A and B are shown apart, each in its own frame.
Chain A
């Protein structure tokens, strides 16, 4: 398929999604036009809306990149959510419990901690896959619950800040990612994410490691025959994937919340899967997909705030868009369905 066809199909599917969700809205007694105007206009018409979209897109750049990298090696990492939590907790603890250090050093330590713990958490799945022939999908799913609850325990007891909320103490200023501009929640975590897009692109397409990762992903048997260490590559891919997700969590903690708050992620790791697939598992694609998802989330928040349409409809609209976008062949399918329906009636 040519590029313009791809883009055309994408736009068409986007409209179909809005139409479908619009029907649900209409028959529930709300005006779809009001909803879409609030949602889309609110997210892109002014600097606040754009900043909010970028804030929402930031963690998805990390988790999308994480899932995409593992996918390139033929490993399906559904565990980005758990890895994100582990990375966030590690960064929060390093940022708050190590006394203030020179800014870049402390920040670097906290980010590194987030990457390592996210990576190690994913490595458990890699280890079980290589050593025990476990299915990484099942293991990473299970590790999500374990990781999230482990962090919840840590935030409730071991590292809890005084007060009624389950959260860790505020990180020192020397470990914080600075805010970009005033009056927004946008932080330099976005720049870290953009930097990683470039780095991962270079690694995947311009290095021997990336080449081997992609060969293993394309055909593990051929890769093994060619002398590539398939098990080793699986390890590397899952570690890097987990590290990217962990960095995403660290970015949320150091740039947005200044601390680990129990249950802070509304599913960034899971949205990362959709972002990676929508972005065709390429770093550049992930960037655009993450921006689209960020815009949807921000638009949903504006919609919820400025209209009386219940928040549940925001979720329906988002789900419809994801559904239509994540199914590239849905147009063909619908067309085929129409055709067969017609031939059926003729007979």
Chain B
């Protein structure tokens, strides 16, 4: 009897001790936009909070006010030795991380949106954004001929994309979009234009209006803050638009069909889960549809897309995940892709 009691107490104590020991602690250094940006930082924070709830981890986070603070925060987290994983948001933390990760080789780091830091103790994560835009481009291409559900479509497959700047990152989005549209309909016209700035919605609106006037039914914005101008244009002429990066459907729910999103929450959660299970590994990660790192969402849009269409897109997703479709990353590779791809 006495022994049983003792055993029970011992068991409980050891369980509690193990539980306390096993609680993983995560330090988060956000990008300078800070929480409340309804985008990069907020969606990543969702992943941290999900990990707190489901995996029982603890975390501390910091919202730097300037680029100058990154190094001291990273170093302070590492120096304390209390954090199993330090997660840093944004490519502009790469410089600081190169220094700090070398000084603390046993500390595990994660950097989002950068493939510059190569070290065994750093997981550098970038996204296959062209895979999500392939789905979005394909769906847009299909919808242009769906005049039954969408009265505003004028049937020939003409769509557009307004990019922020003519740079490789944005071009990979544009390439995926064009490839998706032409995969569905080789004769589809894809208008492409660049704003040249991330904060010029007025110019983005002009570019989008021009596309709508030339017969485009749907315009995808990949232009950051400038992209809000595309939504204004869509509302003005009562046509359709596609949001980017986070779910933007709520901004103009009667005009935005869906948004191509980065699932920061999934990516962050997966990293933490790997650390909890002891399976975490450093290295360069390029994540796409397969890892649920990128996706598209129709939630919060008032426009209803038929199930048949969605099913078709899901079939495409399966093909990309299976490796049957390899989405081109560069605009100049789109034509070659269309010639060789099996339909």
B235 at the interface (CB under 8 A from A): no
A263 near B62: Cβ-Cβ < 8 Å: no
**Chain A residues at the B interface, C-beta cutoff of 8 Å:** 48, 52, 55, 163-165, 167, 183-185, 252, 256-257, 261-266, 301-302, 304-308, 310-311
How many interface residues does B have (CB within 8 Å)? 26
**Known A264-B68, A311-B62; further 10 A-B contacts with Cβ < 8 A:** A165-B91, A183-B79, A257-B68, A264-B67, A301-B69, A301-B73, A305-B60, A305-B61, A311-B63, A311-B65
B66 at the interface (CB under 8 A from A): yes
- Kindly list chain B residues whose C-beta atoms are within 8 Å of the C-beta of A311: 34, 62-63, 65
B241 to chain A, nearest CB (A): 27
- Kindly list chain A residues whose C-beta atoms are within 8 Å of the C-beta of B34: 311
A305 near B73: Cβ-Cβ < 8 Å: yes
B49 to chain A, nearest CB (A): 11
| Bound CA span A183–B72, Å | 10
B62 near A304: Cβ-Cβ < 8 Å: yes
- Kindly list chain B residues whose C-beta atoms are within 8 Å of the C-beta of A301: 62, 69, 72-73, 76
B71 near A185: Cβ-Cβ < 8 Å: yes
From A52, A165, A261, A265, B76 is in contact (CB under 8 Å) with: A52
Q: Smallest CB-CB separation from A300: which chain B residue?
A: B65
Q: Smallest CB-CB separation from A259: which chain B residue?
A: B95
B103 at the interface (CB under 8 A from A): yes
Q: Smallest CB-CB separation from A52: which chain B residue?
A: B72
B76 near A48: Cβ-Cβ < 8 Å: yes
B91 near A164: Cβ-Cβ < 8 Å: yes
A266 near B65: Cβ-Cβ < 8 Å: yes
Question: 23 interchain pairs (CB within 8 A)?
Answer: A48-B76, A52-B72, A55-B72, A163-B116, A164-B169, A165-B94, A165-B95, A183-B75, A185-B75, A263-B66, A263-B67, A264-B67, A265-B68, A266-B65, A266-B66, A266-B69, A301-B62, A304-B62, A305-B76, A308-B60, A310-B63, A311-B34, A311-B62
B175 to chain A, nearest CB (A): 19
B35 at the interface (CB under 8 A from A): yes
A256 near B68: Cβ-Cβ < 8 Å: yes
The 4 closest A-B pairs by CB, nearest first: A266-B66, A305-B62, A311-B63, A304-B62
Q: Smallest CB-CB separation from B63: which chain A residue?
A: A311
From A167, A185, A261, A262, B72 is in contact (CB under 8 Å) with: A185
- Kindly list chain B residues whose C-beta atoms are within 8 Å of the C-beta of A307: 60
Q: Smallest CB-CB separation from A261: which chain B residue?
A: B67
| Bound CA span A106–B75, Å | 29
List residues of B (50-93) whose CB comes within 8 Å of A's CBs: 60-63, 65-69, 71-73, 75-77, 79, 91-92
Q: Smallest CB-CB separation from B103: which chain A residue?
A: A183
Interface of B is mostly: helix
A171 to chain B, nearest CB (A): 13
- Kindly list chain A residues whose C-beta atoms are within 8 Å of the C-beta of B27: 305
A261 near B69: Cβ-Cβ < 8 Å: no
**Chain B residues at the A interface, C-beta cutoff of 8 Å:** 27, 34-35, 60-63, 65-69, 71-73, 75-77, 79, 91-92, 94-95, 103, 116, 169
- Kindly list chain B residues whose C-beta atoms are within 8 Å of the C-beta of A55: 72
- Kindly list chain A residues whose C-beta atoms are within 8 Å of the C-beta of B76: 48, 52, 301-302, 305
- Kindly list chain A residues whose C-beta atoms are within 8 Å of the C-beta of B77: 305
| Bound CA span A256–B103, Å | 16
| Bound CA span A252–B71, Å | 13
| Bound CA span A129–B111, Å | 50
Contacts A48-B79, A185-B71, A185-B75 known; A165 to B92 CB distance under 8 Å? Answer: yes
B86 to chain A, nearest CB (A): 11
- Kindly list chain B residues whose C-beta atoms are within 8 Å of the C-beta of A48: 76, 79
| Bound CA span A163–B113, Å | 13
Contacts A52-B76, A305-B77, A311-B34 known; A265 to B66 CB distance under 8 Å? Answer: yes
Q: Smallest CB-CB separation from A266: which chain B residue?
A: B66
| Bound CA span A185–B61, Å | 21
Q: Smallest CB-CB separation from A252: which chain B residue?
A: B68
- Kindly list chain B residues whose C-beta atoms are within 8 Å of the C-beta of A308: 60-61
Q: Smallest CB-CB separation from A49: which chain B residue?
A: B76
- Kindly list chain B residues whose C-beta atoms are within 8 Å of the C-beta of A257: 68
| Bound CA span A107–B132, Å | 49
| Bound CA span A52–B61, Å | 18
A21 to chain B, nearest CB (A): 18
- Kindly list chain A residues whose C-beta atoms are within 8 Å of the C-beta of B91: 164-165
Q: Smallest CB-CB separation from B65: which chain A residue?
A: A266
Q: Smallest CB-CB separation from A268: which chain B residue?
A: B68
- Kindly list chain B residues whose C-beta atoms are within 8 Å of the C-beta of A256: 68
- Kindly list chain A residues whose C-beta atoms are within 8 Å of the C-beta of B95: 165, 167
Q: Smallest CB-CB separation from B67: which chain A residue?
A: A261
Q: Smallest CB-CB separation from A184: which chain B residue?
A: B75
A11 to chain B, nearest CB (A): 28
| Bound CA span A301–B76, Å | 10
> Which of B69, B72, B116: most chain A CB closer than 10 A?
B72
Q: Smallest CB-CB separation from B116: which chain A residue?
A: A163
| Bound CA span A262–B62, Å | 21
| Bound CA span A167–B66, Å | 14
- Kindly list chain A residues whose C-beta atoms are within 8 Å of the C-beta of B68: 252, 256-257, 261, 264-266
A68 to chain B, nearest CB (A): 23
B94 to chain A, nearest CB (A): 8
| Bound CA span A264–B65, Å | 10
| Bound CA span A311–B61, Å | 10
From B66, B72, B73, B94, A264 is in contact (CB under 8 Å) with: B66
| Bound CA span A183–B79, Å | 8
B63 near A304: Cβ-Cβ < 8 Å: yes
| Bound CA span A136–B76, Å | 41
B302 to chain A, nearest CB (A): 34
| Bound CA span A266–B61, Å | 20
> Which of B63, B68, B76, B77: most chain A CB closer than 10 A?
B68
| Bound CA span A273–B65, Å | 20
